[in-house]
């Protein structure tokens, strides 16, 4: 099979979908790997490293997409790439279609088989291809949020951990999944006071056991969210419903009640965001004001640390890429129920219930 890796074009996106080690594994399994010139530069991987692994370097996006049987990406195709979609192509990438009607429409029109990393789901309901980027995004949410809390960046001027004789910052994490836990752990590491809210009591008990008295947990209700947000210096939104649009849990009224200079980081923005006022931002222009607080809603947050993210992503995706390459999509999906759940669009139809529900009516 011909497996192609294009250069990512999203703003400040330094990741690439496959490392030279991944290319080497696929080539040694008898497949052809085509990498667009410069695709790895953002992750400090030169073309020569791919060539040494047996990959062929394509000069541009047109040739890279055009030769692919299976195209592996990091982020979803942008409008500039819509023309490359076709009915004999299998696309494997983060797609987040519930928040992207134009891309969904184009995939349906093109007849592309579109498989989303974020909806591949194991029997225990875990998301093996989303997990590594959720870990990165959770940790970066605290780095990002604490940076924008600086007074010079328009924030409160609050040091999350404080120092002796001063109050510590308060962090509210809405959603206790992988990203939420990593955000909480990072905030605790800085010395902040941290509250995690989640609808799952078993998950909250698990977090209590893991972090003991260092962490406060609250069952997530509208009232509990409003209380936590009102007292927070930094709010991290990390709510996830696989494949579906994120629910809007932090309302405009809750934001209005926050103290001036507080910061909200919405890492659910790929699925539409879990704050009422959220809209996607970029690494170049990451924040915008709402009332007297700052929203940060960067849609490709892990792209800021591509040397880490690229390797973590390939570690997770390579076994699934190999399975599709070895068997073809239909046989691979039949053999692996977790991979089958990744199918979002096929043969001109939406194949994922969460995506279909987002566009119903």
Active site residue ranges: 96, 270
- Short-list 97, 143, 120, 165, CA closest to 358: 97
Round the CA-based radius of gyration of the chain to a whole number and report it. Answer: 21
Q: What is the DSSP letter of 175?
A: -
Element (H, E) at 235: strand 234-237
User: Rounded to whole angstroms, how far apart are CA atoms 101 and 240?
Assistant: 19
- Short-list 109, 223, 229, 256, CA closest to 173: 229
Q: Where are the beta strands (DSSP E) in 67-214?
A: 70-72, 90-93, 113-116, 170-174, 193-198
- The torsion defined by the Cα of 122, 219, 277 and 182, in degrees rounded to 10, comes to -50
User: Rounded to whole angstroms, how far apart are CA atoms 35 and 3?
Assistant: 9
User: Rounded to whole angstroms, how far apart are CA atoms 259 and 272?
Assistant: 25
């Amino acid at each position: 099979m011909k497996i192609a890796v294009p250069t990512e074009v999203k703003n400040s996106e330094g990741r690439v979908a496959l490392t030279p080690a991944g290319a080497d594994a696929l080539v040694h399994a008898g497949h052809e790997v085509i990498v667009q010139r410069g695709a790895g530069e953002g992750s400090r991987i030169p073309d020569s490293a791919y060539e040494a692994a047996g990959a062929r370097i394509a000069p541009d996006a047109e040739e890279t997409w055009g030769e692919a049987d299976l195209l592996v990406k990091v982020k979803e195709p942008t409008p500039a790439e819509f023309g490359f979609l076709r009915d004999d192509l299998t696309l494997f990438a983060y797609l987040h279609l519930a928040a992207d009607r134009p891309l969904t429409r184009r995939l349906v029109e093109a007849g592309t088989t579109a498989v989303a990393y974020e909806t591949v789901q194991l029997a225990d309901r875990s998301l093996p291809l989303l997990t590594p980027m959720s870990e990165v995004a959770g940790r970066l949410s605290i780095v990002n949020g604490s940076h924008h809390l600086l007074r010079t960046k328009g924030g409160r001027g609050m040091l999350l951990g404080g120092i002796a004789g001063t109050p510590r910052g308060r962090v509210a994490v809405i959603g206790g999944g992988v990203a939420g836990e990593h955000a909480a752990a990072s905030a605790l590491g800085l010395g902040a006071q941290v509250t995690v809210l989640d609808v799952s009591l078993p998950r909250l008990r698990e977090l209590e056991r893991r972090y003991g008295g260092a962490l406060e947990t609250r069952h997530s209700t509208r009232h509990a969210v409003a209380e936590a947000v009102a007292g927070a210096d930094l709010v991290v939104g990390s709510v996830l419903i696989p494949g579906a649009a994120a629910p809007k849990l932090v309302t405009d009224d809750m934001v209005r009640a926050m103290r001036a200079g507080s910061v909200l980081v919405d890492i659910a923005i790929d699925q539409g965001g879990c704050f009422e006022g959220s809209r996607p931002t970029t690494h170049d222009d990451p924040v915008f004001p709402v009332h007297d607080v700052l929203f940060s809603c960067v849609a490709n947050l892990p792209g800021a640390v591509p040397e880490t993210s690229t390797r973590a992503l390939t570690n997770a995706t390579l076994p699934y890429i190999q399975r599709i390459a070895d068997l073809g999509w239909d046989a691979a999906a039949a053999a692996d129920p977790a991979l089958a759940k990744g199918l979002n669009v096929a043969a001109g139809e939406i194949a994922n219930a969460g995506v279909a529900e987002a566009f119903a009516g």
